[in-house]
Amino acid sequence: MKIAVDAMGGDNGPTTIIPGVERARDQFPDIEFLLYGDEAKIRAEIKNDQRLTIVATSEEILADEEPVKAVRRKKDASMVVAAHAVKDGEADAIFSAGSTGALLAAGLFIIGRIKGIDRPGLMPTLPDFRTGSQFNILDIGANADSKPENLYQFAVLGNYYAKNMRGIERPRIALLNNGTEPDKGDLTHKAAYQLIAAEKDFNFIGNIEARELLNGRADVVVTDGFTGNAALKSIEGTAISILHLLKDSIMNGGVKAKLGGALLKGSLGTLRDNFDYSRYGGAVLLGLKAPVVKTHGTASPDAVYYTISQIHDMVSKQVVADVVDYFSRNELARRPEKND
Amino acid sequence: MKIAVDAMGGDNGPTTIIPGVERARDQFPDIEFLLYGDEAKIRAEIKNDQRLTIVATSEEILADEEPVKAVRRKKDASMVVAAHAVKDGEADAIFSAGSTGALLAAGLFIIGRIKGIDRPGLMPTLPDFRTGSQFNILDIGANADSKPENLYQFAVLGNYYAKNMRGIERPRIALLNNGTEPDKGDLTHKAAYQLIAAEKDFNFIGNIEARELLNGRADVVVTDGFTGNAALKSIEGTAISILHLLKDSIMNGGVKAKLGGALLKGSLGTLRDNFDYSRYGGAVLLGLKAPVVKTHGTASPDAVYYTISQIHDMVSKQVVADVVDYFSRNELARRPEKND
């Protein structure tokens, strides 16, 4: 398989991306990489060029650029040229650590949506703190405004991902809502509940409240991008705040606290590791015609490696192909298909 | 001043509420309490009946009842009769640890909205982990569907609360959104941004992302009830999960970790206390004609005491009266007033 890599994305570009790519190359003998970006900068980071092909590009999309304009205007940007390679069948999937908005725009305008999907959803894999397993949640921010049909489609996408990628036979699907009763929520979530509950293919377990997200109740959590974004960022912000507070209270708690902190170092490290979800891979833009996966702009070479491992799995396990097949079987014929 | 107390609300009813009330009575010589509920059960908990008057009621609203129906049908419920006392001018404010939905319904149908406010917002006071101060956030769930005008009104309400109650001259108001740029958000939040930004009375600092909520950037965070509910519950769930993980890693980390945990006990206690926001009072249903304040169903007598202290302050400082005045001065004349 061939993976197109936007080598310029992220805060450090090739410096962190190339070591991650080389680790993945050494691990997976069936991957060939196409590396898009500044040829000299990329080459400077490469230790062994086996199965790595550099495709020189002259532009980059910056984090603060208006995504749609940037993708349309910067035709020789690493991310744009990499997306065209996927569209033209030269690569099977695309990896980027660049701007989420730009990657979404490139995915929508260049690679294109799966027929039957109105909007792709952005989906990370998060740790479940109670059982030590993981769950997927989508959309966490690809869309600001969502309709009930979009949430239904996110359930289809998440269901396939959990089945094919994670090997869960009957993934437990839940809808993030402001209460557990079926009639809870705003108009969009009430209607989405009905659409999802009516689908016999789903193992729908009903609504889930944000307080329960980390407790392992669901394999796939469906949410609109606005609420999902607030929930995920609240989780991240709280975890960061508490770990800071903990560190401060150890550092400022005198000799006793410092000694306690030293004795607990291993346990606290495990706690931090539990929260570092980059080892489960990146965030997938599900609903596009090929795997489009991004990692944080601040990702380490390890996070790049984990994300490429995930892409390798997605291509091998034909996650996207199965979704295409599902929608082409017209199981959605009874639902109105809207294009925006 | 007179405070009407729903003595039957919460998981333990009078058993936890009366001790909290008595502590507040001893602290504030200017409060007289009207205690609504089962006379025998209330009397059994009272140690000293100074400035406590029991008003016997025969019904209770349970946590799982449909709120609007319960309030309409159970005319002799402690919460309903207490709300009528406020409406009839027999009490200045109402306290309950009962169902939030029922208290909202009682507030709307019995006490009534301030003229100019379409929907009240539910507003807790939360700790800011970075600076050790607090912030208010509303709405965290009184409404599932909100319009831009509702969010604007939440900003007015929060602004008055922060000014009058917390003595902040120019409260920093922020809008919870999915990015910091002014054009971020769904249609509702884009429009709300414009309404809030146009109000010269506000010290509006723009959008805030959920990741920054606990970092002390704003004094008042405005959000719709659906998103605010998800954000607050995500914060709570994450904090609880991390404290559990920490405890587990200490308990299962062998002798070294246990010793470390023992040495850190004081610091970890401080961390837990930092997160216990009941000492800042309860959640206020702002936008009603009198202070309507609730605490958790699982609240301790201390939490009851803190919430009554807050109500005492709200009545003394005329927070609600000032909001009524603001809207009656027709400063909102240029905005359409909608009633639903």
pLDDT, tens digit, for every residue of B188-216?
Answer: 999 999 999 999 999 999 999 999 999 99
Tell me the pLDDT tens digit for each residue of A260-276: 888 877 777 777 777 77
List CB contacts (< 8 A) between B176 and chain A: 230
Contact flag B271-A186 (C-beta cutoff 8 Å): no
Reading the block at residue A21, the tokens are 């790519």
pLDDT of residue A269: 79
Residue A335: which pLDDT band, with cuts at 50, 70 and 90?
A: low
Distance from CA of A43 to the nearest CA of B (A): 35
pLDDT given at position A271: 74
Query: Does the pLDDT value for residue A340 go beyond 50?
Result: no
Residues 229 to 288 of A: which have CB under 8 A from any B CB?
229-246, 249-250, 253, 256-257, 259-264, 266-268, 270-271, 274-275
Measured between CA atoms, the residue of chain A closest to residue B257 is A264
Structure confidence at residue A334 (pLDDT)? 45
In which band, very low, low, confident or very high, does the pLDDT at A257 lie, cut at 50, 70 and 90? confident
Overall average pLDDT of the A150-175 stretch: 96
What is d(CA B154, CA B189) in angstroms, rounded to the nearest whole number? 13
What is the pLDDT, as a whole number, of residue A331? 55
Helix (H, G, I), strand (E, B) or coil at B240: helix
Distance between CA atoms of residues A186 and A290, nearest Å: 33
Q: Which of A175, A263, A274 to mutate to probe the B interface, most B CBs <10 Å?
A: A263
DSSP codes, A141-155: SS-SS--HHHHHHHH
In this complex, do A245 and B144 lie within 8 Å of one another by their Cβ atoms? no
Place of tokens 């129906």: B69
Q: Find the CB nearest B241 among A129, A227, A253.
A: A129
Mean pLDDT for the stretch of residues A186-204: 96
What value does the mean pLDDT take over residues B250-275?
A: 79
What pLDDT, on the 0 to 100 scale, is given for residue B330?
58
> What is the predicted pLDDT for the residue at B322?
84
Which of B130, B212, B227 comes nearest A226 by C-beta? B227
| Minimal Cβ distance to A260: which of B141, B178, B260 | B260
CB burial of residue B29 (10 Å; 0-12, 13-18, 19+): exposed
Q: Do B210 and A225 touch (CB under 8 A)?
A: no
Kindly report the average pLDDT of chain A as a whole number.
Answer: 92
A213 at the B interface (CB within 8 A)?
yes
- Give the gap in angstroms from C-alpha B3 to the nearest C-alpha of chain A: 30
Residue A316 has pLDDT above 80, yes or no: yes
If DSSP codes are grouped into helix, strand and coil, which group holds residue B281? coil
The three-point CA angle B279-B203-B336 to 5° equals 100
pLDDT-derived band at A330, boundaries 50, 70, 90: low
**pLDDT bracket for residue A333 (50, 70, 90):** very low
Q: What percent of chain B has pLDDT over 90?
A: 76
Sheet with B203-208, side-by-side order of all strands: B125-127, B134-138, B220-222, B172-176, B203-208
122-151 of A, contacting B, C-beta below 8 A: 129-130, 141, 144-145
* Residue in A closest to B145 by C-alpha: A186
In the Cβ-directed half-sphere of B88, how many Cα atoms lie within 13 Å? 8
Q: Is the minimum CB–CB distance between A69 and chain B shorter than 8 Å? A: no
Smallest CA-to-CA distance from B221 within B242, B196, B239, B198 is with B196
Closest residue of A to B233, CA-based? A211
Query: Would you state the structure tokens that stand for residue A235, as one six-digit string?
Result: 């989780």
Q: Which two tokens stand for residue A16?
A: 């962190």
Q: Do B129 and A250 touch (CB under 8 A)?
A: no
Query: Looking at CA atoms only, how far is residue A227 from chain B in angstroms?
Result: 5
Are the C-beta atoms of B18 and B45 separated by less than 8 Å? yes
Per the model's pLDDT, the better-predicted residue between A227 and A332 turns out to be A227
Residue B42: what pLDDT? 98
B2-59: pLDDT as tens digits:
999 999 999 999 999 999 999 999 999 999 999 999 999 999 999 999 999 999 999 9
Please tell me which of the candidates B187, B211, B223 has its beta carbon nearest to residue A145: B187
The partner residue sitting opposite B213, judged by closest CB among A187, A237, A275, is: A237
Reported as a pLDDT band with limits 50, 70 and 90, residue A206 is very high
Structure tokens at A283: 């965030």
Least CB–CB distance from A214: residue in B141, B241, B262 = B241
CB pair distance less than 8 Å for A231 and B235:
no
Range of weakest confidence among A138-142, B69-73, B266-270: B266-270
Chain B residues whose beta carbon lies within 8 Å of the beta carbon of residue A130 = 241
List chain B residues with CB under 8 Å of A133: none
Q: What is the pLDDT of residues B271-326, one digit of tens each?
A: 777 777 888 899 999 999 999 999 999 999 999 999 999 999 999 999 898 888 88
Q: What is the average pLDDT value for chain B, to the nearest integer?
A: 92
Tell me how many residue pairs between chain A and chain B have CB atoms under 8 A apart: 189
In terms of C-beta density within 10 A (0-12 exposed, 13-18 middle, 19 or more buried), how is residue B191 classed?
A: middle
**All domains of chain B in start order, with CATH:** 1-117+287-340 (3.40.718.10), 124-278 (3.40.718.10)
pLDDT digit string, tens, across residues A80-121: 999 999 999 999 999 999 999 999 999 999 999 999 999 999
Contact state of A267 with B249 under an 8 Å Cβ cutoff: yes
Higher pLDDT, B130 or A83: A83
| Helix and strand numbers, DSSP H then E, in chain A | 12, 12
Q: Is the peptide bond prior to B128 cis by the omega test (within 30 degrees of 0)?
A: no
- Length of chain B in residues, anyone? 340
Residue B340 above 60 pLDDT?
no
Q: Check CB contact of A226 with chain B, cutoff 8 Å.
A: yes
ipTM of this predicted complex?
0.92
Over 70: is that where the pLDDT of B333 sits? Answer: no
Q: Which of A145, A230, A257 sits opposite B264 (nearest CB)?
A: A257
Residue range B263-272: average pLDDT?
A: 77
Q: Is pLDDT above 80 for B337? A: no
DSSP string, B70-134: HHHH-TTBHHHHHHHHHHTTS-SEEEE-S-HHHHHHHIIIII-BPTT-SS-EEE-EEE-TTTS-E
Predicted pLDDT at A339: 45
Compute the distance between CA of residue B265 and CA of residue B257 in angstroms, rounded to an integer: 12
Nearest to A245 among B129, B144, B263 (CB): B129
Q: Using CA atoms, how far apart are residues B176 and B160, in angstroms rounded to an integer? A: 19
pLDDT, residue A180, reads 93
Nearest to A96 by CA among A28, A24, A7: A7
> CA A245, A249, A252, A254: dihedral to nearest 10 degrees?
-170
- Judge: A214–B237 Cβ closer than 8 Å, yes or no: yes
Name the minimum distance, in Å, from the CA of A260 to any CA of chain B: 4
Is the separation of the CB atoms in B292 and B111 below 8 Å? yes
B128 to chain A, minimum CA–CA distance in Å? 9
pLDDT in tens, B219-232: 999 999 999 999 99
B-chain residues within 8 Å CB-CB of A227? Answer: 226-227, 230
Q: Are B253 and B169 in contact (CB under 8 A)?
A: no
* Nearest chain A residue to B263, by CA: A260
Residue A244, class by beta-carbon neighbours within 10 Å (0-12 exposed, 13-18 middle, 19+ buried)? middle
| Contact between residue A119 and residue A153 where contact means Cβ atoms under 8 Å apart | yes
Quick one: pLDDT at residue B221?
Answer: 98
Q: Which of A18, A92, A54 is nearest to A311 (CA)?
A: A92
**C-alpha gyration radius of chain B:** 21
Q: Residue B50: what pLDDT?
A: 97
Q: Is A297 on the interface with B (CB under 8 A)?
A: no
